[in-house]
Structure formats: C-alpha cells, structure tokens
A and B are shown apart, each in its own frame.
Chain A
Amino acid sequence: MCDTCGCNITHGNESLIRPGGKLAKTESGKEAVTVLHSLLHENDHAAQHNREHFDRHNVLAVNLMSSPGAGKTSLLEATIQQLDPDLRIAVIEGDLETENDAERIRKHGVKAIQITTGSACHLDAHMIHQAVHNLDLSELDIVFIENVGNLVCPASFDLGQHQNVVLLSVPEGDDKPVKYPVMFRAADLVMISKSDLLPILNDFKIEKAKHYLHDIASTAPVIELSSKDSSGMAVWLEWLDQQIASRKAYLQTYRKAAPLNGALSPHLHTMNHPAHSNKVVK
C-alpha cells in the first residue's frame, strides 16, 4: 500500500479530517491505525495506469456518461460518420447485458470492445485496463468509452479518461444537474442531446439547464446536439479536435520537462495486474 499518495486529502480539508497521531493505543490489546486512504484508492491507481497507456500513444480517451437512452451510442454512430477520416478511433462499450451497442459501432467499420458488467452498474478502471490491452493503441487517435447508462454510479469511478462528456437529453428535463450533482460536476463537457426535440418538448429551457449547472459550480461548456439532424455536430467535432491538440501540447511540454522520469511508460510493468499476460488481439 502506498503511504504517501494522500488520496483525497487537500490543503483545504486537511484540518477537518486529519486527527492527531498516526498510531494510538486504545484499551489493552487494541491498536488504532490512522489510514486516510480513499476507498477508491485501488481503482484510482488503475485509472492512472490506464491514462499512462493512452498518453504513451498520444491517444485521447473520452468517457461518455448519461442516463439510459440519452443517445450515447447514436452520438458515436453520428461521430464516426462525420469525423475527419484521418482520425483513427475505437470504442469501449459498457452495458449490463448484450453486445448490441458494440455491434452498432462495428457496422460502421470501427473496432468496438464490449464489456458486459452483469450486475455492476458502472465501468471501473480494471475493466478498462483489460479492454485497453485488447486494443492496439499505436494505431489510434481517440478511444471513446461509453459508460453504463446511469447518472449515479459511474461518476465515482475514474477510468483513466482525459475528458468526461455527460449527455443530458431533452426528454429528461432541464433540472437533472441539480438532481445528480456528482455526475454533472464530473463533466468536462455537458451535451444537451436530442436537441431536435426542443421545439416539441418546449418546457426544456437551455438557459435553465445552464443555470442549474451554475448552481453546482460547474464550469463545463454546454453544447446542444442532435444525432438525428446533425445540428451541433460541427461544434462537437471541433471540441474533439481541440482536446486532441491540447493533450498533445501538454504531453510535449511534459516530456520535455521530465524525459527520464518514466511516468509515461506504464510498461515497465511493476504494477501487479494480470491483464498483462494477455496477448494483444487485433
């Protein structure tokens, strides 16, 4: 176990959570041990490892989250059709059951790995790690992860993505950000999906949705998009381009600053993870 990472202790909350000493004897025969580790410690380390995999190959990883049926797979299908053909992509699909979503992606000639989680309502970093080892990252520019449709559980699990996109579809109503603050605060981009329905479901107000996002102190940009009539696609594709460019710029500076520190080479394989015995399947 690592004693130094401090997980989620920050300068701000330190005084609130750090008690006196590290070890204290209580009544005879008992020992109190101060730990102060995130319960998601293991997942977070695995996620960081995944991120290093992606970074090593300059791959942008985008995690799509939403309630069931908000249009994640449709967005991916539309994206595949309209994305610059020079950009090479793959999709990791998370669902409780079925290969349906992966099959929808494969029909467009894009590699898709389906993770069926069974009873688990979210993807975790270990599942993504296995999927990553079934992808040839050197041949890719973007990996999309479609998380399990759920506005609660996926928000707790870092997967190693660089960006979180949270979809809020028009039929769900504009107040979802304040009902699911943890999820919407995790968003780097909020996408109001099924925007073609705005004229019909006209009690959904974009301005109100933005207002609710401010209530939870979200600074994420908000875009409107319809996978049906393609409106908003250009803005989305431009956002993706920007993310690729800024990730590359970041990595360049980072590598220049610390060329020898090895943080970007996960495959020194000191971490103990069984998926590394797997062959890369193309």
Chain B
Amino acid sequence: MHELSICQALMHQVQNIAQEREAEYVTEIVIGMGPLSGVEAQLLKNAFPIASVGTVAETAKLIINDLPLRVKCGQCGAESEVTPNKLLCKNCGNWRTTLISGDELMLMSVELEKHKEPEAVH
C-alpha cells in the first residue's frame, strides 16, 4: 500500500505551507485526483489519520475531488470522457489517443487558521 507514503508526502507539503504562513492549524486540505493517478481515494482517506496525527493538520478535513478522465483522439481530434481500461476515441474508435486529464494526483488547496491575536493585557 503506497497510499501511506503518498499521504506522508502530502503531510510534508502541508506542514511546509502552514509553517511558511505561520498558521496554527490546517482546517481543510483539498486534493484533486484522476482515475489513472494510481492511488485509491479510499486508501488515501484511511491513511490520512495515521499520517496527520500530531501535525498541524491533525484535525483538518480531507476533501478529495475526482477529476475526469479525458482523452483526445490522434486521428479525428475528438475529445471523449472514458474509463480507465477503455481509452478509445468515442467518436471514431481509434486507440491512439492521448490523455488530457485523469492521471493527476495533486494538492489543490489548503485552508489555514492563523494565530489568534493575543488578548490585550490591561
């Protein structure tokens, strides 16, 4: 299961961002992933609590956006939305297609909570 290593890489990136921006908490993490990313969304979700424990993102919400799998035909130029084991052109049936989207595995955004202003001392 490589989802744990990937989740650890994610935590590393998130922690860097939080540190750079002097955030106290990470409240939300949004990931975009395509069907050909090589990663199972559910396994990534399962790995998240393990990888995030004790970090600034311990209580963050993990949101996974599914990105569509789209190919462009090398013959007729049509674009089709396809499934991971059938990447043929839906217009002309040609198999020589190139991927337009669907293999991404990316950190899209994080939501941070900044340090609260220290209360004024009277």
- Residues of chain A touching chain B, judged by Cβ–Cβ distance below 8 Å, are 1, 7-10, 12-13, 16-17, 19, 26, 29-43, 120-122, 124, 152-153, 155-157, 178-179, 181-182, 185, 214-217, 219
Q: How far is the CB of A19 from chain B (nearest CB, A)?
A: 7
Bound: A8/B100 CA distance, A? 11
Are A153 and B2 closer than 8 Å at their CB atoms? yes
Can you name 23 A-B residue pairings with CB atoms under 8 Å?
A8-B103, A8-B106, A12-B72, A13-B100, A17-B67, A17-B108, A19-B108, A29-B114, A35-B107, A39-B6, A41-B13, A42-B13, A120-B5, A122-B5, A153-B2, A156-B39, A182-B84, A214-B95, A215-B88, A215-B95, A216-B86, A217-B95, A217-B96
- When the two chains form the complex, which single residue of B2, B109, B110 contacts A156, counting CB atoms closer than 8 Å? B2
The closest CB in chain A to the CB of B7 belongs to A39
- Contact residues, B96-122 vs A (CB, 8 A): 96-101, 103-114, 116
Bound: A152/B37 CA distance, A? 11
| A26 surroundings in chain B (CB, below 8 A) | 111
CB of B75 within 8 Å of the partner chain = no
Q: List the 7 shortest-distance A-B pairs measured between CB atoms, nearest first.
A: A12-B100, A13-B101, A153-B2, A178-B85, A214-B95, A217-B87, A156-B38
- When the two chains form the complex, which single residue of A32, A37, A121 contacts B106, counting CB atoms closer than 8 Å? A37
Are B87 and A153 closer than 8 Å at their CB atoms? no
- Residues of chain B touching chain A, judged by Cβ–Cβ distance below 8 Å, are 1-2, 5-6, 9-10, 12-13, 16-17, 20-21, 23, 27-28, 31-32, 36-39, 67-68, 70-72, 84-88, 95-101, 103-114, 116
Q: How far is the CB of A155 from chain B (nearest CB, A)?
A: 5
Are B21 and A33 closer than 8 Å at their CB atoms? yes
Q: How far is the CB of B27 from chain A (nearest CB, A)?
A: 6
Bound: A179/B113 CA distance, A? 42
| A38 surroundings in chain B (CB, below 8 A) | 104-107
Are A17 and B104 closer than 8 Å at their CB atoms? yes
| B95 surroundings in chain A (CB, below 8 A) | 214-215, 217
Bound: A16/B27 CA distance, A? 24
Q: How far is the CB of A191 from chain B (nearest CB, A)?
A: 20
User: With contacts A217-B95, A217-B96, A217-B97 known, is A33 near B17, CB below 8 A?
Assistant: yes
Bound: A7/B84 CA distance, A? 22
| B116 surroundings in chain A (CB, below 8 A) | 29
| A35 surroundings in chain B (CB, below 8 A) | 13, 17, 106-110
| B108 surroundings in chain A (CB, below 8 A) | 17, 19, 34-36
Q: How far is the CB of A88 from chain B (nearest CB, A)?
A: 33
Q: How far is the CB of A190 from chain B (nearest CB, A)?
A: 15
- When the two chains form the complex, which single residue of A16, A156, A179 contacts B6, counting CB atoms closer than 8 Å? A156
Are A217 and B98 closer than 8 Å at their CB atoms? yes
Are A124 and B105 closer than 8 Å at their CB atoms? no
| A214 surroundings in chain B (CB, below 8 A) | 88, 95
Q: How far is the CB of A51 from chain B (nearest CB, A)?
A: 19
Q: How far is the CB of B119 from chain A (nearest CB, A)?
A: 14
